[in-house]
């Protein structure tokens, strides 16, 4: 045992050295004045000790049981290289880790590769690495390995994505500040304007351009359309079934939408219709005699292709009365195409749909004012034995004292006054040709 105590073990490479040697013959590490420590308990060893005096662990020259030594400068005394501090030796429980995303990854492969590379270079004898150079070389290898591990690691979870400042593609709200007709938020809308006929279709013309908010069936989205002057009346409309409304101002309630680049309108209810105006021109006339009612005269005139005559100017009035005088019809009382509503007091000409036309005929401003017989229209007959019980609600033309006058009469003159009017009832058909 005494001989063994005189042995010297190189603290760097573990080689057995000659007692008293100042440097290791194998690696050149400095031996003189160098302290040694037990690899197991860390206690300081006596120079050349084979066993630890504290724990009894054998300090062999092979394997992992090499004793630990404090860092020493193993450079030759005349070296000019700057001194670098090596890292402190690690215990057997030390483990190199790379932490990322709350987890850890070991680098045994990198460490083993680094140690193997150093041993290979030393074994080949290409270059003799000094202890400080080995430490620096290992640290460089470990740093590269850690960078590669960080590159391969999954992105760090930073919590919920911060969307502040991100502009999403959100549709802009339409500007409704100038909208005059909102057909998008309402089932029906009320509009006013003039009905015109164009290329066989009815067009609703606004009094002034409108800004309309509606639904576009093609794009399936809402839209604001500006400067709309007219819209197309849908052909499925049951409210406007004929062309008698053309040229008339109306107020209509209905549905509105956009389709095929056109704004469509489907009238559902006529709230107001300007009376149709009569053509003031002089046309062709036919005289028909017979004890018929006003309703029968009205229907028969349409069946023959005309309508119950309506006089719309002084010139036309004079033309018709001259025709009656020349034909010797002064004993007849003629039905004309005018009436009032039951309970009403205003008389109007009517069209072929029995709808009022133009202005009131018994108004003080009417041109017909001077053509009414005295105290007419009276609305009820108070003479001829009627006792005021017979309503007078249609217009007739009769001859008295050498002049033709407008009069209101019952709608069945021969029926109410058979003794007075039998064989003296007639009517005039007007044809526009």
Asked if 134 and 259 sit in the same domain, the reply is no
Closest CA to 337 of 315, 314, 353: 353
Q: Which of 59, 83, 107 marks a domain boundary?
A: 83
Token readout for 286 is 């036919």
Token readout for 289 is 């005699």
Distance CA 156, CA 310 (A): 94
* CATH number of the domain encompassing residue 212: 2.40.50
Angle between helices 108-124 and 131-152 (to 10 degrees): 150
Asked if 107 and 74 sit in the same domain, the reply is no
Distance CA 39, CA 235 (A): 105
Cβ atoms of 15 and 31 closer than 8 Å: no
Residue 26: predicted pLDDT: 81
Query: Residue 194 domain-assigned?
Result: yes
Token readout for 269 is 């209810």
Locus of tokens 């991100």:
166
Query: Residue 265 domain-assigned?
Result: yes
Residue 236: predicted pLDDT: 83
Asked if 69 and 103 sit in the same domain, the reply is no
Token readout for 66 is 């090499």
Residue 381: predicted pLDDT: 85
> CA distances (Å), 430 to each of 168, 297, 339, in order?
71, 12, 17
Is the bond into 20 cis (omega within 30 degrees of 0)?
no
DSSP state letter for 295: H
Closest CA to 333 of 416, 213, 216, 257: 416
Residue 289: predicted pLDDT: 97
Asked if 111 and 67 sit in the same domain, the reply is no
Tell me the Cα Rg of the chain.
60
Query: Residue 154 domain-assigned?
Result: no
Residue 324: predicted pLDDT: 97
Distance CA 409, CA 396 (A): 6
Residue 187: predicted pLDDT: 94
Q: Give pTM, 2 decimals.
A: 0.48
Number of domains in the chain: 4
Reading the chain (433 residues) residue by residue, the pLDDT tens digits are 334 444 567 777 777 777 777 777 788 777 666 666 676 787 777 766 777 888 887 765 443 444 444 444 444 444 444 444 444 444 444 444 434 444 444 445 545 555 555 555 555 444 444 455 555 555 555 555 555 545 555 555 555 555 555 555 666 788 999 999 999 999 999 999 999 988 888 899 999 999 999 999 999 999 999 999 999 999 887 777 665 788 889 999 999 999 999 999 999 999 988 877 777 789 999 999 999 999 999 999 999 999 999 999 999 999 999 999 999 999 999 999 999 999 899 999 999 989 888 889 999 899 999 999 999 999 988 766 656 678 999 999 999 999 999 999 999 999 999 988 999 999 999 998 7
- CA 8 vs. chain centroid, Å, equals 91
Residue 111: predicted pLDDT: 53
Distance CA 369, CA 314 (A): 11
Asked if 300 and 371 sit in the same domain, the reply is yes
Asked if 33 and 102 sit in the same domain, the reply is no
Structural domain span for residue 207: 181-273
Cβ atoms of 34 and 11 closer than 8 Å: yes
Burial class (CB in 10 A: 0-12, 13-18, 19+), 285: middle
Residue 349: predicted pLDDT: 94
Residue 268: predicted pLDDT: 92
Query: Residue 176 domain-assigned?
Result: no
Distance CA 354, CA 357 (A): 9
Asked if 2 and 138 sit in the same domain, the reply is no
Residue 185: predicted pLDDT: 94
Residue 237: predicted pLDDT: 78
């Amino acid at each position: 045992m005494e001989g063994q105590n005189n042995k010297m073990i190189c603290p760097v490479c573990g080689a057995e050295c000659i007692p008293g040697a100042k440097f290791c013959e194998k690696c050149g590490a400095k031996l003189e004045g160098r302290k040694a420590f037990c690899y197991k308990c860390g206690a300081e060893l006596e120079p050349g000790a084979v066993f630890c005096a504290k724990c009894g662990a054998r300090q062999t020259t092979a394997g992992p049981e090499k004793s630990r030594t404090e860092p020493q400068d193993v450079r030759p005394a005349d070296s000019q290289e700057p001194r670098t501090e090596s890292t402190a030796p690690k215990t057997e429980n030390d483990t190199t880790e790379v932490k990322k995303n709350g987890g850890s990854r070991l680098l045994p492969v990198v460490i083993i590769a680094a140690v193997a590379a150093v041993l290979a270079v030393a074994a080949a004898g290409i270059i003799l690495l000094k202890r400080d150079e080995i430490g620096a070389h290992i640290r460089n290898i470990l740093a590269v390995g850690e960078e590669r591990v960080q590159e391969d690691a999954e992105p760090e979870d930073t919590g919920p994505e911060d969307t502040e400042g991100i502009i999403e593609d959100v549709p802009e709200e339409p500007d409704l500040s100038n909208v005059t007709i909102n057909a998008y938020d309402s089932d029906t809308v009320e509009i006013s304007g003039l009905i015109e006929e164009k290329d066989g279709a009815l067009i609703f013309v606004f009094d002034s351009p409108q800004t309309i908010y509606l639904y576009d069936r093609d794009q399936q989205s809402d839209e604001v359309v500006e400067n709309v002057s007219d819209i197309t009346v849908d052909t499925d409309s049951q409210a406007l079934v004929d062309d008698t409304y053309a040229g008339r101002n109306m107020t209509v309630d209905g549905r509105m939408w956009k389709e095929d680049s056109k704004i469509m309108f489907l009238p559902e209810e006529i709230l107001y219709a300007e009376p149709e105006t009569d053509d003031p021109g002089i046309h062709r006339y036919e005289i028909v005699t017979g004890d018929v009612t006003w309703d029968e005269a009205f229907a028969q005139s349409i069946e023959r292709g005309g309508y119950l005559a309506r006089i719309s100017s002084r010139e036309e009035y004079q033309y018709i009365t001259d025709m009656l005088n020349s034909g010797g019809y002064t004993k007849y009382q003629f039905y004309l195409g005018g009436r009032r509503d039951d309970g009403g007091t205003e008389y109007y000409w009517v069209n072929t749909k029995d709808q009022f036309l133009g202005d009131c005929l018994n108004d003080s401003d009417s041109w017909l004012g001077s053509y009414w017989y005295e105290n007419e229209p009276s609305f009820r007959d108070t003479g001829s034995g009627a006792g005021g019980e017979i309503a007078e609600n249609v217009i007739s033309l009769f001859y008295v004292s050498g002049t033709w006058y407008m009069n209101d009469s019952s709608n069945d003159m021969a029926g109410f006054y058979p003794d007075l009017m039998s064989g003296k009832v007639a009517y005039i058909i007007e044809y526009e040709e």
